[in-house]
Structure 1
Amino acid sequence: MTIQLNERKLNIDANVNVSQLLIQENYPQIGIAVAINQQIISKTNWANQLLQDGDNILIIQATQGG
């Protein structure tokens, strides 16, 4: 199936959850926020949230600054 990940198309297997996607794409498990179709997904739900064909996923990484 095909999803959008941070504005790029990505082909993934069916039955992939948010946690698996983060591991597959080498994103850290801390310091990030994940939204699917403009809906923030709580970190406690990442392992249960299955991705669907056509989902638009946005991953935002916290940065330090000052």
Structure 2
Amino acid sequence: MVVTLNENNITTTAGISLSQFVTAQLPSTAGIALAVNDAVVFKQDWESTVLQEGDAILVVRATQGG
């Protein structure tokens, strides 16, 4: 199945959880927030959130600065 990660199409396994997907795609999940189809998914819900064909995942990284 194909999902979008920060506007890039990625082919992945059907039935994969959001947690499994981001762990496979990103070097680290520290300091990030995720949204699926414009809805924020809390970290405690990543494992129970199952991705569907065409889902759009947005990764936002926390940064320091002012």
* TM-score, scaled to structure 2: 0.92
Q: Secondary structure at the match of 1:58?
A: strand
Matches within 5 A, 1:22-61: 22-61=22-61
1:60 match: secondary structure: strand
RMSD: 1.0
The ranges of structure 1 where at least 4 consecutive aligned residues each deviate by more than 4 angstroms after the TM superposition are none
| 1:24-51 CA-partner distances (Å, limit 9, x unpaired) | 1124222111000000001110000000
Q: Which residue of 2 aligns with 1:14?
A: 14
The size of the alignment, in residue pairs, is 66
In structure 1, stretches of 5+ residues that fail to align are none
Alignment partner of 1:52: what SS? coil
Find the aligned partners of 1:45 and 1:28 in 2 and give their Cα distance: 17
| Residues in 1 aligned to 2:20 and 2:62: alpha-carbon distance in whole angstroms | 20
Task: Give the distance between the partners of 2:45 and 2:28, measured in 1 at CA.
Answer: 16
Q: Show structure 2 runs of 5+ residues with no match.
A: none
Q: For 1:19, what is the secondary structure of its paired residue?
A: helix
Q: Structure 1 residue 18: deviation in Å? A: 1.0
Tell me what 2:65 maps to. 65
